[in-house]
Structure 1
Amino acid sequence: MKTILCCISLLLLAGCAGKQKAPGSGAINAMNLKKGKTILCGPADRQLGAVSFGISCSGRVRDDFNFALALLHSFEYDEAEKAFAAIIDKEPGCAMAYWGVAMSNFHPLWSPPNKQEFEKGKKAVDIARAIPGKSARETAYIDAIAEFYKDPDKTTHRSRCIGFEKAMEKVYTSYPGDLDAAALYALALNSAADPTDKTFSKQKKAGEILAAQGQNPSHPGIIHYLIHSYDYPPLAEMALPAARKYAAVAPSSAHAQHMPSHIFVRLGLWDESIFSNKVAADAAKCYAESAGFNGHWDEELHCLDYLVYSYLQKADNKQAKEQCDYLQTIREVFPETPKVIYAFAAIPARYVLENRMWEQAAALDPHAAGGVWENYPWEKAIIHFTRLLGNIHLNRLEAAREEHRKLNVLHDALLHKQEAYKANQVEIQLVASKAWILYREGKNEAALAQMEKAAIMEESTPKPPVTPCEVAPARELLGDMLLAMNKPALALEAYEIDLRDHPNRFNALYSAGLAAERAGNAGKATAFYQQLVKISAVQQPERPELTAAKLYLGKASNIRLSAR
């Protein structure tokens, strides 16, 4: 009998040791988790791709975990946190649910977590690590995200991203065949990539890892992060198959509808970009309404920037203007993020600059709903750069100098905030602005040297993902300056370089055709004008540049016919 009782006791002890100890309600409540019904705007059956992540939690939450993880892989961070929080409500001892909360507040390729998000993520990590009974694999995942939340007072966001990358590499190598480990390691590589590395070494490595998982074509993280890995002019073509597939794999994700347009814009595929962002903007409107926002969701404005830019490249001013007018009706956006303020600045700036509406550019005002613009120096700089270019082309030199002084103040503010990347973006505008001021002062050689410097700076700096394109590409501005100096052959070279990184840009195609025409290169002029007509929307009234291109092509055709 003693032997039997001993055996029973040992079995009970073993069973207790295998159970996960739930944290107290106080620790859970202190995280202040987002909760409520998960909101999705898409198919009723919540299609987010195929995810299957084995966890040691009970069977009743395993499907819930895969759903939450699929949301996370498509950057639906708020909804993912709510889904992980629902798991915690059901099973407080599920350690990986806290891992999910920490990951939901990291958002590595977007802006760094704010103070509240960081503290929430750190608390979630601490709880996850304290829960016993985890598998070795789960412990490895939790330890990896813990690297990001370590020593906030002694480390920078970038150094913590690198720490996460190195830890995820260990998970990836320790668990070959683990799709989520491969996906999240690739994401970590992208988040830790050096923005000045023009060899794109980490991004290429991430892409290779993801491409090797090709036998699993419906995993949202594999497809999504492949697009991010190749979201650069020299690499974009490699992401086109993924871009054309992602929206269909995760139709319930608004971000999955928009993200492919990053590649479409890189490749000048305007119709595909327009379709992608119209669907994504509609999904964002649906989300705001379903969530009960008193206004708009920030994702909608991000889509609008890409949408307006794409319409402008097709010379579809009617549709672009409709979106600009719609933007002016927006008064409240939730949350107020940098990408919201960027859209408020960039959309109207693009419209006036692309159309060379210099009076309107010189008078551009910040959007009334743009929050406190002083909190967003980089975004505010777009307004002053647009004003400067407007005044330059109106030959209002003193007004242009005043805008240049304001740009300097904003640049200094970014340096003071230790936002080096954004400060560099404004410095490019400063150098380009100085070049045009020198040009108006009659100092042509100095102006060209400055403009070439700005172009090189911009080409050595990766485009921020918040924007489809700079509001005025520096290499294109160099071409404009050379054309104004009656140096059409050199201008043509500048425009051709610009088109290498910005294929099918309307103004670059037209200007390249004009430069070729003035340089006596009829073959190139015809080719550029034909491409311009091909990408442009059929509408009345047409952009004057398009009318001029068609006139040239008509004359060239008549000359060829008469020569026969």
Structure 2
Amino acid sequence: MRTVSPIMASIAACSCLLFITCKQKNNTPAKEDITALQLKRGAVVTCGPPNQQFGSVAFENSCSPKAKADFDLALALLHSFEYDEAEKVFAKIIDEEPGTAIAYWGVAMANFHPLWSPPTGSELEKGAKAIAIAQSLSNKTKREADYINATAQFYKDYDKKDHRSRALLFEKAMERIHADYPKDEEAAVFYALALNGAADPADKTFSRQKKAGDMLAAMYSEKTNHPGLVHYIIHSYDSPLLAPLGLAAARKYASVAPSSAHAQHMPSHIFVRMGYWDEVIQSNTVAAESARCYAESTGLEGHWDEELHCLDYLIYAYLQKGDNTRAKQEWDYLKDMKKIEPVNFKVAYAFAAIPSRYVLENKMWKEAATLEINPIGFSWQQYPWQSAILYYTRGLGSAHAGNIAAAKTELGKLKSIQDTLTRQKDAYKANLVQVQANTVEAWILFKEGKTADALKLMTDAADLEDNTQKMAVTPSEVLPARELLGDMLLQLNEPAKALQEYEASLLQHANRFNGLYDAALAAERSGNKEKAKSYYQRLLSIADPKDQERTELKAARLYLNKI
């Protein structure tokens, strides 16, 4: 007769988590319980300095002296979102010292990833099993038990409670730990992570992010070498108004963890917000190369998903410098990709957004109207929000090209996706798609001569977008709605009003190529010579100085030469 281990029986009885009443106190879990975790194992793969530089952490724990260094390495990897590699090191500790409870907590955290998309079903199952084992073991300090129980709040009843509800429970648990251990650096860092993970994307006051950022900023100094502290400052201040507060951390993080591909990319979140395009390009060039190295070193058959995330930022920055040549080279490179591992929301987003950005930023309306994206062999039905980007691009292109029937077809697809997301109770993404649908419909109305209705709907789209935080996976909306409102007003020969909208958009999207050019053009047409001069000068200052072909840059030079 097949036997069931006490831990696995308890998991089944307690919906994959152990409550106090069903804990089995022991010192070593059964081998079959460890096997059931299906842990990632192997040597840590990194691409960067040869001596694995991931920053410094010092988490007091009950590990043996032999395992302490491994645990700190695993935690440093975790703080730079190198989740697979972190799990490998936690697995090494488990294999060598299976009674180390806090190592199972590490596995659970490696499958949580609070600031990415919610864990998959298999990740939730693994994390729940790992945290159950951690709770069952007696070899842990009270502080370790508190950390374990805090993470257990996220995994408890994961099949009954939604992701954000459980993220809020984790946040509250980490708040208690931070209060109970005020001198514990890790408690503050993980509490900041929890605050960011529980932040409401519709909250434009950024209350949780401010709280996290201010707490970490008080701990920060130029000598800081803690990867999580620096990393989470960047996440906390990843918004237009807060971005300057994260600039010092952004300029430091890559040097704290030079062996982490994510640490090379992450500073660009702040650089994008501030319109520092050369820094964005530098960060993501290095990060993309590191991602390619990682794919090769781990034996992936195709490209690693992190590379595509970097490419989206890289192409966006090239477009903002007016460098179509390099942007097109990267798009062509994307077209040649045949396999990506793993396929996820970031991959789908990059495949939809990159070609859309190129044609829309260049106002290639006919090309936008018929845009096709690389199918890459996965189901787009699993990614409705990302699919909406393609329909938005086609709809906007068709409307501008005068093909109203085609634009209305794409609008119908957008509204269908919005309905799907609403039924799924994903209000945030439903709002993002509503902005796109309103924008396409506004331009349809505009082309039909219904200007008052068009302006109202375009204004509604811009206002809704202003009140909706952008998704962290993207450097920016594919096109800012308020910038498009300015375009509509400019076409109606209302340059002064258009200028107001362009300036409002530039406050949220600093140093955008089209935003600066259109603001200069609107200022010129409304007779505001000083602003026209200022915006044309700013445009030339961010553009590639070797670019002599872009008509916008020629117009800027011509205007400045005349005054």
Tell me the SS of whatever aligns to 1:109. coil
| Pair 1:41-2:27 in alignment | no
* Unpaired segments ≥5 residues, structure 1: 1-18, 557-564
Q: Does residue 36 of structure 2 align to residue 30 of structure 1?
A: yes
In structure 1, which of residues 299, 309, 320 is the aligned counterpart of residue 306 of structure 2? 299
The question of whether the paired residues in 2 share the 8 Å contact of 1:47 and 1:252 is answered with yes
Within 1, Cα distance between the matches of 2:329 and 2:159? 47
Q: Work out whether residues 548 and 554 of structure 2, in 8 Å CA contact, stay in contact via their aligned partners in 1.
A: no
Residue of structure 1 in register with 2:213 after alignment: 207
1:12 corresponds to: none
Return 5+ residue gaps in structure 2 as ranges: 1-24
Q: For the residues of structure 1 that align with 2:220 and 2:116, how far apart are their CA atoms?
A: 26
Offset of residue 538 of structure 1: 2.1
1:476 correspondence with 2:472? no
Give me the whole-angstrom Cα distance separating, in 1, the residues matched to 2:369 and 2:139.
65
Q: Match of 2:194? A: 188
Give the 5 Å matches for 1:139-288.
139-215=145-221, 217-288=224-295
1:496-507 equivalences under 5 Å are 496-507=503-514
- Is residue 98 of structure 2 the alignment partner of residue 92 of structure 1? yes
Do residues 106 (structure 1) and 89 (structure 2) align?
Answer: no
Q: Confirm or deny: 8 A CA contact 1:223 1:242 kept in the other structure.
A: yes
1:420 has 2:419 as partner: no
- Deviation string for 1:526-563 (max 9, x for gaps)? 1000000010002345211111111111111xxxxxxx
Identity of aligned residues (%): 59
Map of 1:321 onto structure 2: 328
* Counterpart among 354, 358, 361 of residue 361 in structure 2: 354
> After superposition, where does 1:437-476 map in structure 2 within 5 Å?
437-476=444-483
In the superposition, the TM-score normalised over structure 2's length comes to 0.94
Q: Which residue of 1 aligns with 2:439?
A: 432
Q: Cα distance, 1:413 vs. partner?
A: 2.2
Contact 1:510 1:532 in 2 (8 A): yes
Which letter maps to 2:411?
H
- Determine the structure 2 residue equivalent to 1:120: 126
Letter in 2 for 1:203: Q
Task: Find the counterpart in structure 2 of residue 5 from structure 1.
Answer: none
Q: Give the Cα–Cα distance (whole angstroms) in 1 for the partners of residues 494 and 280 of structure 2.
A: 35
Query: Once the two structures are superposed, what CA deviation does each residue of 1:388-410 show, in whole Å capped at 9, x if it has no partner?
Result: 11111111111111110111122
TM-score (norm 1): 0.94
How many Å separate the matches in 2 of 1:417 and 1:335?
24
Q: Deviations over 1:423-447 (max 9, x none)?
A: 1111110111111111111111111
User: Structure 2: which amino acid aligns with 1:82?
Assistant: K
How many pairs are equivalent? Answer: 538
Distance 2:517 2:214 in 1: 37
2:556 matches 1:516: no
Which protein shows a greater Rg?
Answer: 1
Partner of 2:56: 50
Shift of 1:359: 1.3
Q: For residues 227 and 264 of structure 2, what CA distance do their matches in structure 1 show? A: 12
**1:144-174: CA deviations, max 9, x gaps?**
0000001123311001000000000111111
Describe the SS at the equivalent of 1:212.
helix
Instruction: Tell me how far 1:360 sits from its aligned partner.
Output: 0.9
Asked whether the 8 Å contact 2:312–2:353 carries over to 1, the reply is: yes
CA shift digits 1:204-262 (9 cap, x unpaired): 11011111212561100100000000001110000000000000000000000000000
**One of 536, 544, 558 as aligned partner of 2:543:** 536
Q: Is the 8 A contact 1:438 1:446 kept in 2?
A: yes
Bigger drift between 532-541 and 235-244 goes to: 532-541
Q: Per-residue deviation at 1:370?
A: 5.6
Superposed CA RMSD in Å reads 1.1
CA distance, structure 1, for counterparts of residue 158 and residue 302 of structure 2: 34
For residue 20 of structure 1, report the CA deviation from its aligned partner.
6.9
* 3-state SS of 1:439 partner: helix
Aligned to 1:562: none
Q: What amino acid does structure 1 have at the position aligned with 2:103?
A: A
How far apart, CA to CA, are the structure 1 residues paired with 2:341 and 2:424? 24
Greater than 3 Å deviation, 4+ residue runs: none
Which deviates more, 233-242 or 415-424?
415-424
Structure 1 pair 20–45 and aligned structure 2 pair: CA distance change class (3 A): farther
Distance in 2, matches of 1:472 and 1:104, equals 34
Instruction: Please give the alpha-carbon distance, in whole angstroms, between the structure 2 residues aligned to 1:441 and 1:399.
Output: 14
